[in-house]
């Protein structure tokens, strides 16, 4: 069915050769936190820092001109990938900064009595930013309830949507369960019932496979979308958001500094148009160029084949864990990976703490993450403090799943054996 070859795909990621050379077992199942970095990304950044290092947007000399063109070309690459106008792409230091810029900018218009609805499956970045900036204006932050599987409860949401709702903050794909929100459906419902609401989508977990959604961002009934390069085979230190220009034009900037102004004086300072308004100071130039290289790399991939491969692995892992007979194992969000779901397998085993499982699995080079995954309200929804997460990317193989399953079994034996 799919011709995708994960072992060939590994050739794009120098980490595998490096770990082989070091003789280190390497079953990287933590791509939901940060993916590995693709070779063209590392090369593009080292090349830029070697040959064209200069500040952007400031000087007219060759190096500055080249750096600016490379930086702006990265913006073009991102705009093409997400199908947006280039002026609607704002480069940031990551999803978190992006969401805070959006929260601050949109909160300017809020007042007491206004409501901000925040999906309870959100990452803290899409919760705390609203608690800080919207609450300062007197708005109420209300969670959107979840179904037992951790998906948005559409009936509950429908009942919450009124004229008073000014913001709805959603996560496109949960970083715990992998469940995907149907943005068309939920967005249309919000547009219909809460016409004053801006819809903000945390895309950190969906951006890596954007072509899967077969739509341009502006064609969705949403207003903002944020993501981070380090979850897209790109560098740390850079991310972006897309926003509708008519909304961005009315948003004050969270960060003041160089480049984002039209003129500065002690009598009053004028702010530049978006996206510049939100890009205060020297941007993460080299990282933006690495981000562009990463998205260039993503653009050439067969995302459908990769997702099919990833989800097959996830389903196997989930099914095997759920079938461990004597154990009380919960797969957060259920074991069904047949549709609308990214390959994140989070699980909890009664009596075995995630940190202990992860630490013991590390013995055999299995890299998983244990904790609340910066999603404490969702953990609370599942009645848990923490879970273990195996997150899967295209370079993972059935061998990685076997290693994970064996490592988890060994850990359980040790932890339960005493």
Ligand X SMILES: Cc1ncc(COP(=O)(O)O)c(C=O)c1O
**How many whole angstroms separate alpha carbon 344 and alpha carbon 322?**
14
Beta strands in 154-313 (DSSP E): 165-171, 198-202, 224-228, 239-243, 261-263, 270-271
From 65-73, 246-254, 329-337, 342-350, give the range in contact with another protein by CB under 8 A. Answer: 65-73
> What six digits make up the tokens of 373?
């995954």
**How many whole angstroms separate alpha carbon 292 and alpha carbon 79?**
10
Q: Is residue 227 annotated as part of the catalytic site, yes or no?
A: no
Question: At its nearest, how many Å lie between another protein and the CB of residue 359?
Answer: 6
User: Whose Cβ is closer to its own copies: residue 34's or residue 330's?
Assistant: 34
Residues that bind ligand X (CB under 6 A): 94-96, 123, 125, 171, 175, 202, 204-205, 228, 230, 239, 257-258, 281-282, 374
- Which of ligand X, another protein, its own copies, none sits in contact with 262, Cβ below 5 to 8 A by type? another protein
**How many whole angstroms separate alpha carbon 405 and alpha carbon 414?**
14
- Which of its own copies, ligand X, another protein, none sits in contact with 186, Cβ below 5 to 8 A by type? none
- Tell me which residues in 325-354 interact with another protein (CB under 8 A): 353-354
**How many whole angstroms separate alpha carbon 387 and alpha carbon 171?**
19
Task: Give bridge partners of residue 345 from the DSSP assignment.
Answer: 390
Q: Does 3 bind another protein (CB under 8 A)?
A: no
Question: At its nearest, how many Å lie between ligand X and the CB of residue 147?
Answer: 18
Q: Does 418 bind another protein (CB under 8 A)?
A: yes
Residue of 188, 209, 206, 185 whose CA lies nearest to 197: 188
Residue of 131, 73, 143, 72 whose CA lies nearest to 107: 131
- Which of another protein, ligand X, its own copies, none sits in contact with 171, Cβ below 5 to 8 A by type? ligand X
Phi, psi angles (nearest 5°) of residue 188: -65, -40
- Which of ligand X, another protein, its own copies, none sits in contact with 72, Cβ below 5 to 8 A by type? another protein
* Cβ atoms 321, 331 nearer than 8 A: yes
Question: At its nearest, how many Å lie between its own copies and the CB of residue 188?
Answer: 26
Positions that interact with another protein (CB under 8 A): 57-60, 64-65, 68-69, 72, 259, 261-263, 272, 353-356, 359-360, 362-363, 370-372, 376, 379, 385-386, 414-415, 418
Give the active site residues: 374
């Amino acid at each position: 069915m799919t011709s995708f070859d994960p072992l060939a795909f590994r050739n794009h990621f120098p980490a595998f050769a490096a770990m082989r050379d070091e003789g280190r077992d390497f079953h990287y199942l933590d791509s939901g936190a940060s993916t590995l970095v693709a070779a063209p990304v590392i090369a593009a950044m080292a090349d830029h820092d070697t040959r064209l290092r200069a500040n952007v947007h400031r000087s007219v000399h060759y190096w500055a001109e080249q750096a600016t063109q490379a930086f702006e070309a990265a913006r073009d690459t991102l705009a093409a990938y997400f199908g947006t106008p280039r002026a609607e792409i704002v480069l940031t230091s990551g999803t978190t900064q992006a969401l805070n810029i959006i929260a601050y900018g949109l909160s300017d218009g809020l007042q007491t009595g206004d409501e901000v609805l925040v999906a309870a499956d959100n990452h803290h970045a899409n919760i705390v930013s609203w608690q800080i900036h919207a609450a300062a204006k007197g708005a109420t932050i209300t969670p959107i309830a979840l179904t037992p599987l951790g998906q948005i409860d559409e009936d509950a949401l429908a009942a919450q949507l009124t004229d008073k709702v000014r913001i709805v903050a959603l996560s496109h794909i949960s970083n715990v369960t992998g469940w995907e929100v149907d943005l068309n459906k939920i967005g249309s419902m919000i547009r219909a019932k809460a016409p004053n609401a801006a819809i903000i989508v945390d895309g950190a977990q969906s951006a890596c496979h954007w072509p899967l959604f077969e739509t341009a961002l502006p064609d969705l009934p949403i207003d903002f979308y944020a993501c981070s390069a380090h979850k897209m085979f790109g560098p740390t230190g850079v991310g972006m958001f897309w926003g509708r220009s008519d909304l961005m034009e009315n948003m004050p900037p969270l960060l003041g500094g160089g480049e984002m102004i039209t003129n500065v004086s002690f009598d009053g300072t004028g702010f530049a148009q978006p996206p510049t308004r939100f890009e205060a100071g020297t941007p993460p130039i080299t990282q933006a160029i690495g981000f562009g290289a990463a998205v260039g790399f993503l653009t050439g991939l067969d995302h459908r084949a990769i997702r099919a491969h990833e989800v097959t692995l996830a389903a196997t892992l989930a099914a095997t864990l759920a079938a461990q007979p004597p154990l009380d194992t919960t797969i957060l969000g259920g074991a069904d990976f047949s549709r609308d779901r990214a390959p994140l397998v989070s699980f909890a085993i009664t009596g075995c703490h995630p940190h202990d499982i992860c630490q013991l699995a590390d013995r055999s080079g299995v890299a998983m993450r244990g904790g609340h995954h910066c999603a404490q309200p969702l953990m609370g929804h599942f009645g848990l403090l923490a879970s273990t997460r195996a997150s899967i990317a295209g370079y993972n193989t059935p061998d990685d799943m076997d290693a994970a399953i064996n490592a988890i079994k060994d850990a359980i034996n040790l932890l339960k054996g005493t």
